[in-house]
Chains A and B, each alone.
Chain A
Amino acid sequence: MLSHLPILQVVVPLLAAPACLLLDRSRLVWIFTVLACGLSLLISMLLLYQVSQHGTLSYDLGGWDAPWGIEYRIDLLSAYVMLVVSGIATLVIVAAGTGLEREIPLEKQTVFYVTYLLCLAGLLGIVATGDIFNVFVFLEISSLATYALIAYGRDRRALWAAYQYLIVGTIGATFILIGIGFLYSLTGTLNMQDLAARIPDSAGSRTASTAFVFIVVGVCLKLALFPLHLWLPNAYAYAPSLVTAFLAATATKVAVYLLIRLHFSVFGEQFASSSLPLHGILLTLGLAGVFVASLVAIFQPDIKRLFAYSSIAQIGYMIIGIGFGTAIGLQATLLHLFNHALMKGALFLALAAVVYRLGSADISAFRGLGRRMPWTMAAIVIGGLSLIGMPLTVGFVSKWYLILAAIEAGMWPVALLVVTGSILAVVYVWRLVEAAYFQPPENELPEGLDGPDRREAPLTLLVPTWLLVLVNIYLGIDTRLTVGTSGAVASALLGGGQ
């Protein structure tokens, strides 16, 4: 059975979803979903172990050899991303046991869990596959599920946000489809390995360059790279809090993964940098993203929206890392990819706890919260520190490598700008800290809530949050695992790309 792990990773949540619908008893469905997510987490751990021991795994679906059938290909990078995705998915779904009841009516919960599992399966499928058209199919599974999940938000603006995301996402997917078509017309294959072997034959071909541009733009729409980010803040702000926690920590990360995979494993660094001034474009857009989004974040009254803008800024950092075009830059990107998933997972889960108790994530709701919900607020503070890049948190590690990469590339201004960006993060995190610890609580109660509700969040929400917070701190101190893996992956991607 161990040799089938690559496919089981995706098929377990994929088939658990329709099975869930058959159960149709919301408590039972929840337990079942937790089991499915936990199983998929277990599988991803085993896969990571296998890959680190025996190298890249290849699995032929239907028993057909690679270019004819669809191949699943798990290397260190995909195993790591799958671990992050299924880990976050499991924690969020555990928290959903109690956290969901105030956000989604009971009769819709079964369908919600089904959609959630489908979204997870789609994301995992994108990461596991070695076939470029299969990427498109699973991208659409996860996207459709995401639109539906966002629309569960109670505010009517959630619907509008989901619609906008749907339009942008579909345009992105269609761009990717066009790119795949151009590639196919040149090479006659859809397998990534096969493509990588055949693209150099048509180096300098305008068709290949066009394919590259369309695929990159399509993926960038999905990962909300500035200035293609407009769909993200509303989607994150109005989706149910737990959905935001899941999406913020996984969906954009998978999109970044896809960018890295297509850029380095399919086209190869040489092709990508020779056909376009890509590095300059990525650096500029990344930096612009960091500054614009951080500045906007400072003025957001809604904290979910604030952290959504902060996500766009953090994606900017990841893109800067790719923009250097060096191994250490890519390593910084990978580190930040993992670390940001941990930070934002913790932050949005903590926010979900606040929304659970107070029914709002407005800055005014946070007044005096330091005393009323000490554990939740402490989690938010540590997550915020990590976002800023304080030493002893994971955020420091990735920022440090990003600055190292800038210095190594001789780009002092970029290093300085990265530091300045962190100062902006200090400002928006401080606003929150000030409200929570230095302002008296509001006297009048928010409507619809009575006294007993204004206390610490239930344990089922706190435990997953704090698990993530502890991982944040642990990996900030003991950096061997993340730095070692990302270093190995980065050099493999740059060296083995040809």
Chain B
Amino acid sequence: MLLLLAITALAIAWLRDLFAAVMLAGIYGLLSASFFVSVDAVDVAFTEAAVGAGIFPLLMLAALALVGRNEQTAYRRPLISLLLVSITGAALVLGTLDMPAFGSADAPPHNHVAVRYIEESPKEIGIPNMVTSVLADYRSFDTLGEVVVVFTAAMGVLGLLFTGRAASPGSATERANMYDHRVLRVVSKMLIPLILLFALYVQFHGEYGPGGGFQAGVIFAAGIILYAMLFGFGNAQRVVRPALLQILAACGVLIYGSVGVVCLLSGGNFLDYSQLLPDPLVGRHVGILVIELGVGITVASAMILIFYAFASATVNSEEVA
């Protein structure tokens, strides 16, 4: 598995065609996702598959459509760079020499903080998925930070690209390239509701199996983006309006934050869900459910917003040309 990853990485370095490099990067994401499954990280695998093999190539392709796929210039200072990289790599290898062996159960990481997560969380938090317990409860402030990162990126992209105008219906770009593929259209018409439904399932199933707000948000966004690609951005923007998305993205962060504030007002520390309800365990459940919802809303609307912004840039640059 790692060998395959290495081959893909070298191929990316070698290739001149950006389009192929993006595709390989997607494959790299998929390969690393399967590696994650093989080392028991199912939640991470799910996310990496959705991001590395889904959103990342999608955004890259949208950008490539604007800037062209061919790389021109030669390498800059290849020797110095190679030297720098070799030194960095050598330092890292040196650093691994005193590291605990791969997979050994008595390594320090598995015998300090993590012990409590593994042994106590099913009782303390009351849900079987330990990753969700840590993500949404023990370290839920990191997750709030993560949602804010997504929100920040959406704001940044908005400030950079968004012109506020929706693509006018009926224009040349309205009929997206794939509109003529009748089979695609029919299939995806059936598929899109299923994708959105699956997103909801992932959203609310995160406590028991792999999944949660982030993955659900990405899948939901993928469904809407698919719709936009097939039926034109003008149509998609009429169904899901950019202004609404902005409000939703902000609301997701606010939902998450206000759970924290409510905990604070009911006498606990920030994000201490056990204060939400008389029964602490039920309170934790409710808390996790609500913040995951906040995550899902922000991630989905931020991703769609970013994609819209890229698309509107396409329209504008075509108008210039």
* Residues of A bordering B, CB below 8 Å: 4, 7, 11, 14-15, 17-19, 21-22, 59-64, 67-70, 107-108, 111-112, 114-115, 118, 121-122, 125, 133-134, 137-138, 140-141, 144-145, 147-148, 151-152, 178, 182, 184-190, 202, 205-211, 213-214
Given A62-B270, A63-B269, A207-B96: A14 in contact with B108 (beta carbons within 8 A): no
User: A478 vs B158: C-alpha distance in the bound complex, in angstroms?
Assistant: 46
Q: Any chain A CB within 8 A of the CB of B268?
A: yes
Given A18-B151, A140-B149: A62 in contact with B142 (beta carbons within 8 A): no
Which of chain B's residues 138-160 have a Cβ closer than 8 Å to chain A?
138-142, 144-146, 148-149, 151-153, 155-156, 158-160
Shortest beta-carbon distance from B106 to chain A in Å: 11
The residue that A144 contacts in the complex, of B95, B99, B152, B249, with Cβ under 8 A, is B152
Question: A144 near B159 (CB under 8 angstroms)?
Answer: no
Contacts of A211 in B (CB 8 A): 95
The residue that B110 contacts in the complex, of A70, A188, A202, with Cβ under 8 A, is A188
**Chain B interface, >50% SS class:** helix
Nearest to B153 among chain A residues (CB) is A144
Question: A137 near B145 (CB under 8 angstroms)?
Answer: yes
Stretch of B71-79, B187-195, B219-227, B251-259 on the interface side: B251-259
Question: A62 near B269 (CB under 8 angstroms)?
Answer: yes
Stretch of B33-41, B113-121, B311-319 on the interface side: B113-121
Given A67-B113, A69-B139: A206 in contact with B97 (beta carbons within 8 A): yes
Q: List 24 A-B contacts (CB under 8 A).
A: A7-B264, A14-B144, A15-B258, A17-B253, A61-B140, A61-B141, A62-B271, A62-B272, A68-B116, A107-B164, A111-B158, A125-B145, A141-B152, A144-B152, A145-B155, A147-B156, A178-B92, A185-B109, A187-B112, A188-B107, A188-B109, A190-B113, A206-B97, A207-B95
Given A62-B270, A188-B113: A207 in contact with B97 (beta carbons within 8 A): yes
Question: A144 near B156 (CB under 8 angstroms)?
Answer: yes
Question: B257 near A188 (CB under 8 angstroms)?
Answer: no
Question: A4 near B270 (CB under 8 angstroms)?
Answer: yes
Q: Mark contacts of B71-99 with chain A using CB atoms, 8 A cut-off: 1 yes-contact digit, 0 otherwise.
A: 00000000000000000000110111111
Question: A148 near B141 (CB under 8 angstroms)?
Answer: no
User: A208 vs B270: C-alpha distance in the bound complex, in angstroms?
Assistant: 33
The residue that B141 contacts in the complex, of A4, A62, A108, A122, with Cβ under 8 A, is A62
Nearest to A191 among chain B residues (CB) is B113
Question: B99 near A182 (CB under 8 angstroms)?
Answer: yes
Question: A18 near B253 (CB under 8 angstroms)?
Answer: yes
User: A207 vs B108: C-alpha distance in the bound complex, in angstroms?
Assistant: 13
Nearest to A212 among chain B residues (CB) is B95
Nearest to A209 among chain B residues (CB) is B95
The residue that B159 contacts in the complex, of A115, A178, A190, A213, with Cβ under 8 A, is A115
Given A4-B269, A188-B113: A21 in contact with B145 (beta carbons within 8 A): no
User: A209 vs B94: C-alpha distance in the bound complex, in angstroms?
Assistant: 10
Question: A22 near B247 (CB under 8 angstroms)?
Answer: yes
Question: B100 near A148 (CB under 8 angstroms)?
Answer: no
Q: Any chain A CB within 8 A of the CB of B171?
A: no
Which of chain B's residues 259-295 have a Cβ closer than 8 Å to chain A?
260-261, 264, 268-275
> In this complex, which of A61, A62, A121, A188 has the most chain B Cβ atoms within 10 angstroms of its Cβ?
A62
Question: A188 near B272 (CB under 8 angstroms)?
Answer: no
Q: Any chain A CB within 8 A of the CB of B207?
A: no
Q: Any chain A CB within 8 A of the CB of B250?
A: yes
The residue that A148 contacts in the complex, of B156, B253, B257, with Cβ under 8 A, is B156
Besides A17-B148, A206-B95, 7 more A-B contacts (Cβ < 8 Å) are A59-B270, A61-B141, A63-B271, A67-B113, A107-B164, A147-B156, A151-B156
Contacts of B151 in A (CB 8 A): 17-18, 118
Given A112-B159, A115-B156, A184-B109: A68 in contact with B117 (beta carbons within 8 A): yes
User: A125 vs B142: C-alpha distance in the bound complex, in angstroms?
Assistant: 11
Contacts of A190 in B (CB 8 A): 113
Question: A185 near B99 (CB under 8 angstroms)?
Answer: yes
Shortest beta-carbon distance from A209 to chain B in Å: 7
Q: Any chain A CB within 8 A of the CB of B246?
A: yes
Contacts of B156 in A (CB 8 A): 115, 144-145, 147-148, 151
Which of chain B's residues 17-62 have a Cβ closer than 8 Å to chain A?
none
Question: A60 near B269 (CB under 8 angstroms)?
Answer: yes
Contacts of B114 in A (CB 8 A): 188
Nearest to B287 among chain A residues (CB) is A62
**Chain A interface, >50% SS class:** helix
Q: Any chain A CB within 8 A of the CB of B111?
A: yes
User: A255 vs B108: C-alpha distance in the bound complex, in angstroms?
Assistant: 30
Question: A63 near B98 (CB under 8 angstroms)?
Answer: no
Q: Any chain A CB within 8 A of the CB of B174?
A: no
Shortest beta-carbon distance from A281 to chain B in Å: 15
User: A490 vs B102: C-alpha distance in the bound complex, in angstroms?
Assistant: 40
The residue that B257 contacts in the complex, of A14, A60, A70, A152, with Cβ under 8 A, is A14
The residue that A186 contacts in the complex, of B91, B108, B137, B138, with Cβ under 8 A, is B108
Question: B113 near A189 (CB under 8 angstroms)?
Answer: yes
User: A209 vs B97: C-alpha distance in the bound complex, in angstroms?
Assistant: 11
Question: A59 near B108 (CB under 8 angstroms)?
Answer: no
Question: B92 near A207 (CB under 8 angstroms)?
Answer: no
> In this complex, which of A115, A185, A189 has the most chain B Cβ atoms within 10 angstroms of its Cβ?
A185
Shortest beta-carbon distance from B286 to chain A in Å: 14
Question: A207 near B257 (CB under 8 angstroms)?
Answer: no
Question: A111 near B112 (CB under 8 angstroms)?
Answer: no
The residue that B146 contacts in the complex, of A11, A63, A69, A137, with Cβ under 8 A, is A137
Contacts of A140 in B (CB 8 A): 149
Contacts of A15 in B (CB 8 A): 253-254, 257-258, 261
Question: A137 near B269 (CB under 8 angstroms)?
Answer: no
> In this complex, which of B149, B268, B272 has the most chain A Cβ atoms within 10 angstroms of its Cβ?
B149
Nearest to B163 among chain A residues (CB) is A107
Q: Mark contacts of B122-145 with chain A using CB atoms, 8 A cut-off: 1 yes-contact digit, 0 otherwise.
A: 000000000000000111111011
Question: B159 near A18 (CB under 8 angstroms)?
Answer: no
Question: B148 near A134 (CB under 8 angstroms)?
Answer: no
User: A122 vs B151: C-alpha distance in the bound complex, in angstroms?
Assistant: 13
Closest 3 CB pairs of A and B: A210-B95, A148-B156, A188-B112
Contacts of A125 in B (CB 8 A): 145
User: A64 vs B96: C-alpha distance in the bound complex, in angstroms?
Assistant: 32
Shortest beta-carbon distance from A7 to chain B in Å: 4
Question: B108 near A188 (CB under 8 angstroms)?
Answer: yes
User: A112 vs B156: C-alpha distance in the bound complex, in angstroms?
Assistant: 9
Shortest beta-carbon distance from B164 to chain A in Å: 6
Question: B138 near A151 (CB under 8 angstroms)?
Answer: no
Shortest beta-carbon distance from A247 to chain B in Å: 15
Question: B257 near A11 (CB under 8 angstroms)?
Answer: yes
Shortest beta-carbon distance from A108 to chain B in Å: 6
Question: A62 near B137 (CB under 8 angstroms)?
Answer: yes
User: A26 vs B259: C-alpha distance in the bound complex, in angstroms?
Assistant: 28
Contacts of A134 in B (CB 8 A): 141-142, 145
Contacts of A188 in B (CB 8 A): 107-114
Contacts of B271 in A (CB 8 A): 61-63
Contacts of B107 in A (CB 8 A): 185, 188
Contacts of B257 in A (CB 8 A): 11, 14-15, 18
Question: A68 near B138 (CB under 8 angstroms)?
Answer: yes
